[in-house]
Chains A and B, each alone.
Chain A
Amino acid sequence: MYIDPHVHMVSRTTDDYQRMALAGCVAITEPAFWAGYDRSTAQGFHDYFRMLTDFEPRRAAQFGIRHHTWLCINPKESEDVGLAREVLSIIPSFLECKTVLGIGEIGLNKNSRNEMTVLEEHIALAMKHGLLILVHTPHLEDKLKGTMLIMDALRNQGADPGRVLIDHVEEHTVRPVLDRGFWAGMTLYPDTKCTPQRAADIFEMHGTDRLWINSAGDWGVSDPLAVPKCQDELRRRGHLLETIRKVSYDNPRTFLSQSGRFTAPERA
């Protein structure tokens, strides 16, 4: 049994829901993200948010998977501050939806000034409405710098680190994130993030508190079954079932339950 707390199912087929359910997935959360191209209007985001809050929960439910979501304009589309502000203005109209857990995945992509501005306005929106925050950290050479800038922005705006999950950590960012009191996510993603083996290494070196794993499955080269593959990696190393359950079910449930909206069924 597991929760995948970060997966972009709008980019995946219904067969993937079926395979995830067969592998033990009982709940997912889906952050808003970049579609691979820049949307030209706020109306495009409005339609995307309808998909996240209406269509995807119904598609997931066919397979016994609870679907939840996070809303934002992704940092890859934050260079246009005017459009970003229009999108920010429509988010409150979706907050009544019971499957919206918070604001995400916000953060930085190339660590630009406009991205910082839009990040700060998202943080303010989340704090105004008492919402959880899911943070995207930049890719590859930009990750270390971006992670530090994001944590500084959260601190400067007075965000409670216990209500913020900073995602896509790797060996060089996991310790600074945990040491500042944030939750951390490891994304199991071929080539550009963590493999299941490296994620298992990070658990062994940094412990299992405030740390979860996710697939971030999307339209690129990615694997919606990455979480059960990491469970299998921990199992073959001889880790206890209790440990495996903690990182793949208990930890995400504990963090996400702070929203008051997250539900994950038990399954035999």
Chain B
Amino acid sequence: MGTPLTKQAVADLYFLEHRAKVLDLAAFLDRFDRAMGPGNDDFRVHALKAAVALLLDGKPERARRVLELWSDHSSEPIDRAPMKGALGAMPLAAKDGR
């Protein structure tokens, strides 16, 4: 059905909200860099940075592609559930199977 909004209207409606989100992301990465101790190779932070690159590639359907980037792409059930929750991303090198 498409969007009834013009590009100008989209910018007018949503710019400030997303300006704040970009600043949140920037501050998170700064906070991560300032922090001490283990965790420097946290795969979730690597996944976040890889997603940022997708945002700037000029191609459509960024949201779908980011979700796919963070997804488990294996196809067989695992032997046993290791926990209840989820982590939000896969280690990038392990995306083809756990």
Q: What is the interface of chain A, defined by CB distance below 8 A to chain B?
A: 34, 76, 79, 109-116, 138-145, 148-149, 170-172, 197-198, 201, 203-204, 207-208, 236-239, 243
Contacts of B81 in A (CB 8 A): 79, 109-110, 112, 114-115
Q: B3–A237 contact, CB under 8 A? A: yes
Q: B88–A140 contact, CB under 8 A? A: yes
Q: Report the minimal beta-carbon distance from B65 to chain A, rounded to whole angstroms.
A: 8
26 A-B Cβ contacts within 8 A? A79-B80, A110-B78, A110-B83, A112-B78, A112-B80, A113-B77, A113-B79, A114-B80, A115-B81, A140-B89, A141-B87, A142-B86, A143-B67, A144-B67, A145-B73, A145-B74, A149-B75, A171-B64, A172-B71, A201-B3, A207-B1, A208-B1, A237-B13, A238-B4, A239-B4, A243-B1
Q: Tell me, in angstroms, the Cα distance from A142 to B84 when the chains sit together.
A: 11
User: Does B93 sit at the interface, judged by CB under 8 A?
Assistant: no
Q: A141–B89 contact, CB under 8 A? A: yes
Contacts of B78 in A (CB 8 A): 110-113
B-side interface size class = 20 to 34
Q: Tell me, in angstroms, the Cα distance from A220 to B85 when the chains sit together.
A: 13
Q: A138–B86 contact, CB under 8 A? A: yes
Q: Report the minimal beta-carbon distance from B69 to chain A, rounded to whole angstroms.
A: 9
User: Does B16 sit at the interface, judged by CB under 8 A?
Assistant: no
Contacts of A197 in B (CB 8 A): 14
Contacts of B74 in A (CB 8 A): 145
Contacts of A237 in B (CB 8 A): 3-5, 13
Q: What is the interface of chain B, defined by CB distance below 8 A to chain A?
A: 1-5, 13-14, 61, 63-64, 67-68, 70-75, 77-90
Contacts of A149 in B (CB 8 A): 75, 77
User: With A116-B77, A149-B77, A238-B5 in contact, do A141 and B63 touch (Cβ < 8 Å)?
Assistant: no
Q: Tell me, in angstroms, the Cα distance from A253 to B1 when the chains sit together.
A: 21
Contacts of B77 in A (CB 8 A): 111-113, 115-116, 149
Contacts of A207 in B (CB 8 A): 1
Q: A143–B4 contact, CB under 8 A? A: no
Q: Report the minimal beta-carbon distance from B4 to chain A, rounded to whole angstroms.
A: 4
Q: Report the minimal beta-carbon distance from A254 to chain B, rounded to whole angstroms.
A: 18
Q: Report the minimal beta-carbon distance from B45 to chain A, rounded to whole angstroms.
A: 15
Greatest chain A CB density within 10 A among B5, B13, B67, B79 is at B67
Q: Report the minimal beta-carbon distance from A221 to chain B, rounded to whole angstroms.
A: 14
Contacts of A140 in B (CB 8 A): 70, 86-89
Contacts of B71 in A (CB 8 A): 141, 143-145, 172
Q: Report the minimal beta-carbon distance from B2 to chain A, rounded to whole angstroms.
A: 6
Q: Tell me, in angstroms, the Cα distance from A79 to B84 when the chains sit together.
A: 10
Partner of B61, one of A113, A139, A171, A243: A171
The chain B residue with its CB closest to the CB of A194 is B63
